[in-house]
Amino acid sequence: MKPRPFHIWFLLLGLLLPNFAAAQCLQDKTTSASVFVGNFYQWYRIQKESSYDAIFKGKGACFAPALFKLMQRERQGNALCPGEAFLDWDPFVASNAFIPSEARVRIGTESAVNGIVQVPVTLTYQGGHESKKLILELIKGEYWQIKDLVDPSATIPVNQRFSTVLEELGKSITACQKERAPKATKN
């Protein structure tokens, strides 16, 4: 059968669409780190489903590969170890009590520390009565990517860096998998 012009368009569309969602996170090369973070939160706040879950459906390009791999491992842990609660809060609003759409977001002035750009974010809830400050750490290759998320108010030091929390959860996931793995029988 001879390919028709519309077959070629469907083929091209099929090849380009998977990359379109990832490309939405990529900014113009002249975009500042603060604008990138503002755009990320603007997108994050309007998601119909859990905003954190929505990241895995098209915003992976917003994250440094090492952090995104840890995030994916944590998501897999929920499937591998049913009944275990791993990440039970939304790291980008630093709460399990608020939905991102309820937050007012204020982006602070960016600063550079050892080649990493830090952008402070203040999230305000419930008419201004509660607020939370976070710091997004970014790296820039061709485009900005979130390298880590810091919660300076976390009372337990291990909980201050999102990557450290995910690494610890990864250990728990591995232990859970070993515990639930079928035992080899001896003859």
pLDDT in tens, 124-167: 887 777 788 999 999 988 889 999 999 988 877 667 899 998 88
Amino acid letter, residue 13? L
Tell me: the pLDDT tens digits for 53-67? Answer: 778 877 888 899 999
* 95 domain residue, yes or no: yes
* 160 domain residue, yes or no: yes
Query: Residue 15's pLDDT is what?
Result: 37
Provide Rg for the chain, Cα atoms: 20
Amino acid letter, residue 154? A
* 186 domain residue, yes or no: no
* 11 domain residue, yes or no: no
For the chain, the domain total comes to: 1
Amino acid letter, residue 90? D
Contact criterion met (CB below 8 Å) for 29 and 142: yes
Structural domain range at position 138: 22-178
**Residue 38: which CATH number?**
3.10.450.50
- Residue 7's contacts (CB-CB under 8 Å, 6 or more residues apart) are none
